[in-house]
Each structure stands twice: as C-alpha cells, then as structure tokens.
Amino acid sequence: MLPAYGSCRVCLSEADGPIFYGQIKNRSVAYFECRSCGYVQTEQPTWLDESYAVPINVSDTGIIARNQLNVSLVVAALVLLGKKHGKVVDYAGGFGFLVRMLRDIGIDAYWIDPHTDNLVARGFEYRDGNAELVMAFEAFEHFVDPLAEMENLLSIAPNLLFTTNLIPTPTPPPLDWWYYGLDHGQHIGFFRHQTLQYMAGKYGKFLLTDGASTHLFLDQEISIYRWMIFRKIARIVPRLFAVGLRSKTWDDHLSLCKAVHDNESGRPRQK
C-alpha cells in the first residue's frame, strides 16, 4: 500500500497522491504530483524490465520523422552556440539513426544508449571526453532518477538539448493524454516549465524552452527569439547552416573498413 504522500524525484519536496491510477502492464499504477515543482511521477516503477524487453515501442511510428526533425534541431543548436564543428553526443541514441544522419552532413556525432543496440552508427559509440553538446531526445520522461541522469548528461557536455512533452495544467487523467504511454509503461515522469526551471537553477544553467516539447539547458544566456529563428532557418533552409561542413560518410566507411581489416589481421589463422 503506497503512502498518501511521497517525495518528488526531482526536487525532493512533498508530492500529493495518489492523484489517480493508470493501468500499465496489467498493474494499477499510482501517480503523484509535486506540490513545489509540478513534476508528475508514477510510483516506483517495478515493471521496467518488462517494458524494455522491446526498447523501441511498436506504437512509435514517428521514429524516422522525429530523427529528421532532430537533425535540424542539433544543427541549429550548434550554430546558436557558435560550435558548428564541435563534438556532440546522443545520450539516448536508440538504433543510431540520428548519429548516422548527423555524421552524414558533417557533424562529429557519437552514440550512447543503455537500453538499445547500436545498429547503424557502429564504431561511433561515445567512450569518454568532453563534447560541446549532449542530446537527450524523448528520454527525460523515461528517467527513474532525473537528477542523477542530469549529472551524467552534464558530465559529457555543458550544454544540453532535449525533448519531452510538458504535461498540461490541470493534470489530465490517464486516458486523456497519450504521452503517459500506458501501452508500454516506459514513461514514468512528466515535467512542467517550473520543473525545468528548478533543474536549470540547481545546475547553474540557463533554460530555453518553447513551452511545449523542445528545451535547452545552456552555459550562457541566449535570447529565446534568436533560438526560435535559428530553429526555423535550420528546418526550412537546412543547407544554409550546413555550409562549411563536410560529410563524414566516406571517411567513416574507410575508417571502419580499416578497423575490420586490422581486427581480422590480428586473429590467429584457422587450421
């Protein structure tokens, strides 16, 4: 039996609840809402092993379109920061589509994902070292411990670009908002503007948000209007911001072929 009140997993303040129950993986799951930062969270998620048995949800029909859009977001963010030739890391890289697409236009991109196999960006897994920008697209709602994940992200790069749909106010019941993801159970925490503002303040970052789904934590204060203009240009005229970039497709091919050859040359001959 869950207590009537628990602690917010973001700001550790008291959370009201259960405010309602949702049906996930044949379980009745309690949801709580933070009195201070507005974060909405499930009870402690004990079903995640089952949810991540298939890491990419069958209902995620927008995966390719989303990655195409994310390419323009990354390019716009790098230009905004004046770091177009900088290193970027896709923290929840999935099958590697975004990393491969970014490298194909000349961005020095790398992959990391604890839940998914890298299928199309193999050879470009993030190992260590600092980057200019780290991305977490459609990942924050999956985090069991958002603060620990923030520290992981900011240890990679000082600037963070991420997407997550902000939960409406008043808080909708489970069947009235698709983003709860009851069919797969991977979405366990939902943010509001004040939640993100709290996190930005805690880590000494400046928050840029469109108030809906796309957000930046930055080391420097930049006008939201400038960000919105850069986003629009990158989406409508993508080649403009790609000027000066050189595709890594062929160079990556050569380096990977060499790595395979060197690996095979070092193996003992089969008798």
CA distance 93 to 154: 16
Amino acid identity of residue 1, one-letter, is M
Q: Decide if 13 is inside a domain.
A: no
Q: Give the other-Cβ count within 10 Å of 256's Cβ.
A: 13
Residue pair 207/200 in contact (Cβ under 8 Å)? The answer is yes
Q: Any idea what the CATH number is for the domain that residue 203 is in?
A: 3.40.50.150
Q: Decide if 10 is inside a domain.
A: no
Q: Decide if 89 is inside a domain.
A: yes
Q: Decide if 213 is inside a domain.
A: yes
Residue 270 has pLDDT above 50, yes or no: no
What is the tens place of the pLDDT at every residue in 90-120? 999 999 999 999 999 999 999 999 888 999 9
- Residues 52-56 have a mean pLDDT of 79
The pTM for the full model equals 0.91
The domain containing residue 73 runs over which residues? Answer: 63-165+193-251
pLDDT for 55: 72
Q: Decide if 243 is inside a domain.
A: yes
User: Domain count of the chain?
Assistant: 1
pLDDT band at 268 (very low <50, low <70, confident <90, very high): low
Q: Decide if 6 is inside a domain.
A: no
- Residues 18-34 have a mean pLDDT of 96
Q: Decide if 112 is inside a domain.
A: yes
**CA-based angle 59:65:67, to the nearest 5?**
100
201: which 2 tokens? Answer: 């303040």
Q: Decide if 229 is inside a domain.
A: yes
